[in-house]
Structure formats: C-alpha cells, structure tokens
C-alpha cells in the first residue's frame, strides 16, 4: 500500500512513500539503505532489527542476489506473516 508519510513519521529524517509492515515484538527498524546487492532500494525500506539476530552483512555489501532467499518474521492477528526480509542482511523486501 502506498501512502504519503511526512518526514520523521517513522523515525526517518526524510520523506518516503512506503508504508512499513507491522513489526514482530521487540523488533525495530534500522537504517534505510539506498542499495542492496548492487540494486536500487525504494526509499523507506529499512533493515529489520531483531534482538539476538545479527545479520551477516549490511544491505550495501549484501551478496544475496536471489529474490527468493528471504525469511518471514512477525505474525498478525490472523496468523499471517507480516515482514519479509533478506536472510543475509535483514532488508525489508515485503
């Protein structure tokens, strides 16, 4: 879903047009890179930060170019997974 979100609405210092999915408990959004595995990242996408779950790489240096090599995190009231992230760097690819 696209929406116009004012600067700082999600803790970001810039305007983005991506409505982030609900987070799992104790999770938060990390930095929002401009590139992932050498490809452009849509403004507003960020790294999912989970307690006790370090990511092997940063999005800018990620070697995961496989669009299917991702993991789901978090579940809503209907037991639907909410956040799809790169399994190497944690970038939101929902």
| Cα dihedral 80, 29, 62, 89 in deg (nearest 10) | -50
Higher pLDDT, 70 or 74: 70
Tokens standing for 54? Answer: 């370090």
- Overall residue count recorded for the chain in this entry: 94
Angle ∠(25,9,17) on CA atoms, nearest 5: 100
Neighbours of 43 (CB within 10 A): 13
Buried-exposed string 44-60: b where 16+ CB fall within 10 A, e elsewhere: bbbbbbbeeeebebbbe
pLDDT digits (tens, 9 = 90+) for 11-61: 544 445 567 777 877 889 998 898 888 888 888 889 999 988 899 999 999
């Amino acid at each position: 879903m696209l929406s116009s979100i004012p600067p700082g609405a999600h803790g970001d210092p810039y305007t983005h047009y991506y409505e982030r999915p609900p987070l799992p408990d104790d999770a938060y959004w990390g930095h929002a890179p401009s590139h992932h595995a050498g490809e452009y990242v849509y403004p507003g996408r960020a790294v999912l930060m989970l307690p006790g779950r370090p990511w092997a790489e940063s999005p800018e240096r990620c070697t995961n170019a496989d669009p299917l090599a991702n993991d789901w995190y978090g579940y809503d009231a209907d037991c639907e997974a909410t956040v799809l992230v790169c399994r190497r760097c944690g970038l939101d690819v929902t």
